[in-house]
Structure 1
Amino acid sequence: MQRVFPILDWLGSYKRKDLPKDLLAGLTIGIVLIPQGMAYAMIAGLPPVYGLYAAVFPIIVYTLLGTSRQLGVGPVAMDSILLASGLGALSINGIENYIALAILLTFMVGALQFILGISRMGFLVNFLSRPVISGFTSAAAIIIIFSQLKHLLGTEVAARADFVNTFIQSIQSIPDTHVFTLVIGLAAIVAIILLRRFVPRIPGILIVVVLAIIGASAFDWIGYGVEVVGAIPEGLPTFNVPSFSLKYMQQLFPTAITLAVIGFTQAISIAQSLEEKNNRDAVDPNKELIALGSANIIGSFFQSYTVTASFSRTAINYKSGAQTLLSLLVGSILVILTLLFLTPIFYFLPNAILAAIIMVSVVGLIEINYPRELWKHQRDEFYLLLATFLATLIMGILQGIVLGVLFSLILMLYRTSKPHFAVLGKIRDSEYYKNVDRFSADVELRPDLLIVRFDGQLFFGNKNYFKKELSRFVRDKGKELKCVILNSEAINYIDSSATSMLIQLIDELHRQNISFYMSGAIGPTRDIIFNSGIIDKLPKEHLFLRIQEAVDYYDKKHTATELQERIAYQRKGKGN
């Protein structure tokens, strides 16, 4: 049962002394979750109450199935903007249809995550590199900020799927700014930032929300033209089967894939960072997929939109001393109490306050230091980050992440097509062989020997590069060259195309009266050498453990010992 319900792993050994910490953390995260949930629902283009619905059943389900004890799951800005972008590209009439498709999309996301989890496909997260995620999240944060500018300015800006037009229309609407609304929003931003900086233990967001509600109701801000949240339906979300439509499911599938992968990536990255800090959680990526998938599937039957882990609420949960997911459950109970008894209070909450909460919450997603470090040390990855950032801003959220993954795969293919290929020389008075470009003043080079190291697998994508570079090294050596030694410690695979190339290359060297040796071949590489035609051109006597043994053999200084031969010639399923 513990494998199915990870909650049983910690519930059976729960310590009474941890209860006050979990209760305090739960109350704190619930206080933040209520206004944040409503604010994020606005980003998604949904009525604010749907942000509260997303904080009920999905959180309860994750509490039962999640493997991280401190992850703050619920509605988040990133999922919200992705959902709005995906639905914004469709022709949808009426808010009811929009809500129905948002819930259908949530079911699809959950189903995809669940299927990936039971299929043990958690490794897919590795295909989203850090530069891609950084470029994407930074651009998405900027898009989110500008999407809320209309609420901060109190102006009318048509909802657009692309950032460029949203930016232009937002700038054009500045002359129509409702000054009182802007003052309220800016004051809220300043207050939240100052409280967070100087009094971090006090929930600044809650204080701002309470003061704004009191101000709006006591001084009739509505009469001055300030837009407010308005009536929020009371009661818990009711059970409803999502409106399944094959037509819309086909149209929503790309968005669902993106949300499923991005949501999981965000959750697992936060969970693993917590694991490093507390050295206690054993986060299982596949179980996390199942937990998130189940939360979204069940949530879709109770009017929830997509959920994943939140950076800000996880940090709050961790800093508040949460010991288990009981804190998350306490936060959800606070949301339930709000839905049952407190929704009338939020009637007077200005939209500008929610916009301020969103802006302050997502501005931290814009990374500055990481791109700066990449610029200093890894320019190719900086350009990958920049390309993803610009593609997301200019072309759109979905296109940006897809192109970012494509760019990273292209960069990976480029690197594997041209691995590091070095000429080695012997360090004086030692048996070490190092790159001559790095140790030029300390190496001894012989005109009759060429020793090289290839740092990558040999496959169809780089076989021509290998042959071209090795042929160039051979030509540079001149007519005195008698032997080539390939240090193959870093070669972990040789495919059939590279095998054919290597056979032809060895033949060409032999026609020039040049011997060919290999040293340091690991087990899988030796298996390929013995099971392919390479062994017919490269006798096993020309396989060595170390470069020095190959050099000594060439110099006829000694014959390999029985142990050296047994190790150098060993292959899978064979004794020699």
Structure 2
Amino acid sequence: MRWSPRAIQGITPSIGTLRPDLIAGLTAAAVVLPKAMAYATVAGLPVSVGLYTAFVPMIIYAFLGTSRVLSVSSTTTLAILTATELSLAVPDGDAGRLITATATLTVLTGLLLIAASALRLGFVANFISTPVLTGFKAGIGLVIVFDQLPKLLGVHIVKEGFFRDILALFQHLPDTSGVTLAVGGTALVLLVFMERLWPHSPAPLAVVGAGILASWSFGLTSQGVAVVGHIPQALPSLTLPDIDLARQLLPGAIGIALMSFTETIAAGRAFAKQAEPPIRPNRELVATGAANLFGGFFGAMPSGGGTSQSAVVRAVGGQTQKASMVTAAVSAATMLALAPLLSLLPQAVLAAIVIVYSVGLIQPREFLHIRRVRRMEFRWALAAFLGVLVFGTLQGIVVAIILSLIGLSSQAANPRIHVIGRKRGEDVLRPASPRHPDDETFEGLLILRPEGRLFFVNVQHVADGIRARVLQARPRVLMLDLSRVFDIEYSALQMMVESERNLAAQGVVLWLAGLNPDVLDYVRASGFAERLGANRMFATAQSGIRHYQDVVANMADPPMNWRH
């Protein structure tokens, strides 16, 4: 791959952007670092892993990414997916094995993303439809919220699946620690209050600072409140992946890589300005892949583009990836100077941060909007939501992809076939509808307009639809308006030839109109155009109607050469 000076366009624009990027980077750090630590606890990892994830991946992406403001670290979704995979790989929770497994999982994620770029698989980001992604994220959000509630209450439960965990949580409610609940509840209320009054403010940092102060002032550890504990006061050290673990973690890494890329592309496009270079999916695969690959060797968990922190960068005036470099520098300074203070942070405060920023994944209004627009896709969203809760988070990705592909296949296999009329007094053709009762139709002429690609999957559906409408209308001429057909596969072309013979046996003549250049070439190559002749093929449906009106409509017995 060739790299030009423009390859690092995210950080090379003029020096005039330094001041706004410095402010944006510092502000983003105040939001990103507390959340990164909180997401590490979601994955069952030390909070230091969160700081590592807000350090190395950010630097790598800043040099390679195509987004000017995208902030790359861990996200809510990636954290819970990582937690699921690590719990399977290291069921006993051994600290050393967890760090090795995390490095292995993150490196695998990076390698998969880079391999996907080499294979030009950037289009895969579009494989999960928006309704399905809405359902999947809502399921993830609910799982995370209930996963953090025990920490907020100061109780411990054995994780056995979403519904069993809810039951276990209710059974342990009598064991709730009042002090822990007071700390976590206060943090929760403060976060909600500050976010509503000052969106994108450094609310997480303020709450973390208050939690540390309360822990030190009131000796919360002596009152049974769990705290973060020891954090190494150093930059991340080299961590090598385990080849034996790689085979076990590979299936999960595929799902995490897909979600990392999907979130990165979505966030990058959401915050791209029109005047900025476009987001390039295959280049983003390289950037996020390298961020994960190098991050994994330095103790980071899987990372991707984060919507909330990117929104902060954009909201406070960030213009280039220099803002991410500033955030990474603050992360390094935190590791070197503030580690002893962070060790006093109550776990309940981190749980409150996770809950507040995970609830946003659950969008009931979006479900209602989908239902109002497309009931079928609402069912897909609901199925993806339940798939996460019933089968688990990683399996939920598979459910989401399968649902999206089923939806795509369903649409391709059942193309619409419209009966066409003409707007009275105008030369405008449109599908017949009760909303247009005055549209003209033509005695003895039936105009049908199929839509989409005609191929072996939907050929029978199209043939049956045409046959049913011909039997109902009993026309002398059937004109197929193929202006909305962008491709016709061999099986569908053979169906058309066979249908022409069957129609002729019933006394119905087939005309074709509006063929686009590719479809016209295929029809000619098959010999079907020669069979029909110039008098039965038209550039537009309008010209076919005029021919019908001028030559055919007044003939009681059309001549033989018209039929053949």
Shift of 1:500: 1.6
User: Which residue of 2 is the match for residue 543 of structure 1?
Assistant: 537
User: Which residue of 2 is the match for residue 257 of structure 1?
Assistant: 254
C-alpha distance 172-485 of structure 1, shift in aligned 2 (>3 A)? same
CA contact (8 A) 2:10 2:65 kept: no
SS at match of 2:343: helix
Shift of 1:213: 0.9
User: Which residue of 2 is the match for residue 108 of structure 1?
Assistant: 108
Structure 2 counterparts to residues 287-326 of structure 1, below 5 A: 287-326=283-322
1:26 aligns with 2:25: yes
Q: Distance in 1 between matches of 2:212 and 2:97?
A: 31
Match of 1:285 among 281, 287, 294: 281
User: Which residue of 1 is the match for residue 374 of structure 2?
Assistant: 378
1:343 aligns with 2:339: yes
1:510 aligns with 2:504: yes
Shift of 1:450: 1.3
SS at match of 1:46: coil
User: Which residue of 1 is the match for residue 123 of structure 2?
Assistant: 123
User: Which residue of 2 is the match for residue 73 of structure 1?
Assistant: 72
Q: Distance in 2 between matches of 1:7 and 1:219?
A: 52
SS at match of 2:512: strand
Q: Distance in 2 between matches of 1:195 and 1:444?
A: 61
User: Which residue of 1 is the match for residue 560 of structure 2?
Assistant: none
Q: Distance in 1 between matches of 2:488 and 2:416?
A: 16
Structure 2 counterparts to residues 175-190 of structure 1, below 5 A: 175-190=174-189
Q: Distance in 2 between matches of 1:201 and 1:400?
A: 30
Shift of 1:440: 5.1
Q: CA RMSD in A?
A: 1.9
- My pick for the range that moved more, 133-142 or 193-202, is 193-202
1:469 aligns with 2:465: yes
Match of 2:407 among 411, 421, 443: 411
CA contact (8 A) 1:520 1:547 kept: yes
> Which one-letter code corresponds to 1:257 in the other structure?
I
User: Which residue of 2 is the match for residue 207 of structure 1?
Assistant: 206
Q: Write out per-residue CA displacement over residues 428-458 of structure 1, whole angstroms, 9 at most, x where no aligned residue.
A: 3333333233465213333321111111221
1:524 aligns with 2:521: no
Shift of 1:83: 0.9
Q: Write out per-residue CA displacement over residues 149-172 of structure 1, whole angstroms, 9 at most, x where no aligned residue.
A: 111000011234x21222222222
Q: Distance in 2 between matches of 1:60 and 1:222?
A: 36
Shift of 1:317: 1.3
C-alpha distance 473-226 of structure 1, shift in aligned 2 (>3 A)? same
> Which one-letter code corresponds to 1:322 in the other structure?
G
CA contact (8 A) 1:507 1:537 kept: no
Q: Distance in 2 between matches of 1:91 and 1:451?
A: 64
CA contact (8 A) 2:76 2:358 kept: yes
Q: Distance in 2 between matches of 1:76 and 1:346?
A: 21
Shift of 1:32: 2.2
CA contact (8 A) 2:13 2:320 kept: no
Shift of 1:241: 2.4
Q: Distance in 1 between matches of 2:111 and 2:386?
A: 31
User: Which residue of 2 is the match for residue 554 of structure 1?
Assistant: 548
Q: Distance in 1 between matches of 2:106 and 2:192?
A: 33
Shift of 1:10: 5.3
Shift of 1:539: 2.5
CA contact (8 A) 1:113 1:293 kept: yes
Shift of 1:119: 2.4
C-alpha distance 202-170 of structure 1, shift in aligned 2 (>3 A)? same
Shift of 1:68: 0.8
1:169 aligns with 2:151: no
Q: Distance in 1 between matches of 2:47 and 2:5?
A: 32
Q: Distance in 2 between matches of 1:158 and 1:347?
A: 25
Q: Write out per-residue CA displacement over residues 372-394 of structure 1, whole angstroms, 9 at most, x where no aligned residue.
A: 11111211111110010011111
C-alpha distance 7-25 of structure 1, shift in aligned 2 (>3 A)? farther
User: Which residue of 2 is the match for residue 151 of structure 1?
Assistant: 151
- My pick for the range that moved more, 204-213 or 229-238, is 204-213
C-alpha distance 24-431 of structure 1, shift in aligned 2 (>3 A)? closer
SS at match of 1:237: coil
User: Which residue of 1 is the match for residue 52 of structure 2?
Assistant: 53
SS at match of 2:240: coil
Q: Distance in 2 between matches of 1:102 and 1:4?
A: 33
Shift of 1:507: 0.7
CA contact (8 A) 1:135 1:388 kept: yes
CA contact (8 A) 1:6 1:65 kept: no
Q: Distance in 1 between matches of 2:35 and 2:302?
A: 14
Match of 1:391 among 353, 375, 387: 387
- My pick for the range that moved more, 164-173 or 109-118, is 164-173
Shift of 1:535: 2.7
User: Which residue of 1 is the match for residue 61 of structure 2?
Assistant: 62
Could you tell me which runs of 5 or more consecutive residues in structure 2 were left unpaired when the two chains were aligned: 553-564
C-alpha distance 316-474 of structure 1, shift in aligned 2 (>3 A)? same
Match of 1:501 among 495, 499, 520: 495
